[in-house]
Amino acid sequence: MKRTTFLVAVCGFLFSCSVDVNSQDVVGSGLVWENSLVNVGAVLAEDGPATADFYFVNKTDSSVYIRSVETDCGCTVADYSKDSLAPEKVGLVKVRYDPQSRGGTFSKLIIVRSNAYPEGDSLFLEGVNVPYPKDPQKHYGVRKAGLGFVFPVINLGTLFTDAPKTKFVDFYNFNDFPIQLSQKQAQLPEHIAVEMIPSVVPAGSRAVFSITYDAALKKDLGFVEDAFSLSLLSGERMDVSIALMATIHEHFDPIPVDQVDEVPRLNIAEREIDLGKISSASSVSGRVSLENTGPLPLNLRKVVSNCDCLEFAIPTNDLDPGEEMVLVFTFDPKGRRGIDHKTLTFFSNDPLNPTQTVVIKSRID
């Protein structure tokens, strides 16, 4: 169905476009690819090679044939038709990725050279290689409801609000029975979606949780944590606790050069504050001066510190063009000694510098 939809869309495009648009379309390779990038997700070593299909349409006015397909790694092999392809016909390049012992994310380049475009079209195959550990008992040492994980907390890294991010988390089913993910997940937050691959995991085998996190739905910025339980089904219902952490940043579209002076601008006068020598017996206060130097209203989305020992008060979250304000903070060094660094992080609608950090240094006696 997906392939049919693609072909119908291409044919409709051909018949609906003007002459000028058609003339622009044939510039370059003359091949229209359904996808130039395919992500195969997590590749478990015991499952063997992963494959991806790259479909294309010949949009030139003559026959096209593929001269060669080159890959940047011996672990990636491509197969393709050696026959000529008539105009508006569909072709296929099938790529196979053989997982190696080295794990982690991968991005493989495939260059398709044709008689229409000898320089070659660039395709990319991406995913996560998950090698089989020598000792699953030790490797998956964190146990939850009979499942073994590598880490107690899943770190999603940096997220942006423009698009969800998916992370693949491998685990081992140490139970003596198969499991599957329940279709009813009462505790799953709306900004998180989870899929189990494969859908049924036999006893004594590995699988992957595909966790998709939508930062826009979370409606928060900075460091965040989520804890929930996933409901699994076996002979009876069972729950496994999941803990996530991530850092969320607001996404802003790139600003054209001629518009850089037409946006809100957060100017922080003190990017580094040295409190000098202080005593652990008493709190110390300081000030951070903020100004909107742009022509549009500035909004402070959020201000966070990296320690409960650092308290602050925000007079207002909104600054008109040219308006200034002072943020007063108080640092309680009780129980601390030596050189100390604390931070205040400002999230705003300044598209050029949406996240800015102030470092507060001290030497505590």
Averaged pLDDT, groups of 10, the chain, 365 residues long: 45 39 43 94 93 95 94 92 92 92 87 92 94 95 97 97 96 96 93 96 96 97 96 89 97 94 96 95 95 98 96 95 97 95 97 97 95
pLDDT score for 101: 65
Six-digit token pair at 342? 């604390």
Six-digit token pair at 27? 């510039």
Question: How far is residue 264's CA from residue 254's CA, in Å, rounded to a whole number?
Answer: 14
CA 153, 159, 163, 165 dihedral sign is: negative
**What is the model's pTM?**
0.82
Q: Cβ–Cβ contacts within 10 Å for residue 246, how many?
A: 21
- Rounded to whole angstroms, what are the CA distances from 169 to 26, 59, 163, 207? 42, 41, 19, 8
Q: Per DSSP, what are the bridge partners of residue 280?
A: none
- Around 23, how many Cα atoms within 13 Å sit in the side-chain half-sphere? 3
Q: How close are the terminal C-alpha atoms of the chain, in Å?
A: 71
pLDDT score for 20: 34
Is residue 364 a contact partner of residue 283, using CB atoms and an 8 Å limit? no
pLDDT score for 45: 92
